Amino acid sequence: MSDTLTMILIASMLLSVLGVIAFLWALKTGQFDDEDKTAHTVFFDGEDELNAARNREQKLKTLQEEE
């Protein structure tokens, strides 16, 4: 009984550590940085307007990266 409990505790701790590592990796790589995209999509009706907005955002990012 105690061997099984020990294995379950070790497995749950390992999964918890892996989850925290995955979350920290996602934060570091910028997976959660796109805060305004959903908010700004209500302003654009068509696909062309959305593509133009995306292109503007990409240009802004490249200008900011060059600085």
CA distance 62 to 57: 9
- Average pLDDT of the residues in 13-34: 92
Domain spans, the chain: 1-31, 34-67
pLDDT for res 8: 96
Whole-angstrom Cα distance, residue 32 to residue 46?
25
CA-closest candidate to residue 36, choices 52, 10, 54: 54
Tokens representing residue 1 in the block: 């009984």
pLDDT at 67 > cutoff 70: no
Tell me 43's DSSP state: G
- pLDDT of 39 above 90: no
Question: Comparing 62 with 6, which gets the higher pLDDT?
Answer: 6
Single pTM value for the model: 0.50
Q: Identify the CA nearest to 41 among candidates 57, 18, 19, 61.
A: 57
Residue-wise pLDDT tens digits, 45-65: 677 877 888 899 898 888 887
Mean pLDDT, rounded, for 12-18: 98
